[in-house]
Amino acid sequence: MKKSLGAKTIVYPTPVFVVATYDSAGKPNLMTASWGGICCSTPPCVAVAIRKVTYSYSNITERKAFTINIPSETYVKEADYFGLVSGKEADKFAVTGLTPVKSDLVDAPYIGEFPFVLECKVRHIIEIGLHTQFIGEIMDIKAEESMLNEKGALEIEKVKPFLFAPESRAYYKVGDYLGKAFSLGKEI
């Protein structure tokens, strides 16, 4: 028997995306967004939802580009900070000492130190309500070589990403391997 909790925004796991953009003067900015996820395989696309009042919203609508930077556990304080302060008030790259690297594919910077990044061109803008959803086509993923396995593929156990739990507003590590997808279900 289930109990009603009301109309809330809770799913598990929720990601921690650090979105990087340029403003009109070319100053790089960062913000953390947890409302998002992959939304299409072909063309490869990712969605991220952002409020209109943010500095990043203006940057994305103007530049039609952004990058999504996936933080490792090591950068949990920085990722949290990027969600607390507006780019109108602070140079978040300077404050944290992280390096803005100009993307060679899209009109946005990415974080040099983070394990991997998605370089995106805006394809759709959907006005939903408090949040506007930007759907970006993923032009490339760039990753640190130390995050790849012997086959050259990204390895989640090396990246050590973390997740956000809405409502309890807490971060959790990724835990143990549970099993092989598109395989375990064959035992049913």
What single-letter DSSP state applies at residue 113? T
Burial of 176 (0-12, 13-18, 19+ CB in 10 A): exposed
Q: From CA 101, how far away is CA 69, in angstroms rounded?
A: 12
Q: Is 76 in the site for its own copies (CB under 8 A)?
A: yes
Nearer to its own copies, 62 or 77 (CB): 77
Nearer to its own copies, 28 or 36 (CB): 36
Distances (CA, A) of 66 to 1, 120, 159, 174, 181: 44, 5, 21, 26, 30
Which residues 93-132 are close enough to bind its own copies by CB under 8 A? 95-96, 101, 112, 116-118, 123-124, 126, 128-131
Q: Contact letters (x/-) for its own copies, 125-144, by CB under 8 A?
A: -x-xxxx-x-x-xxxxxxxx
Interface residue with its own copies, options 65, 70, 106, 108 (CB under 8 A): 70
Name the token pair of 151. 């086959």
- Binding segment for its own copies among 20-28, 56-64, 153-161 (CB under 8 A)? 153-161
150 binds its own copies (CB under 8 A): no
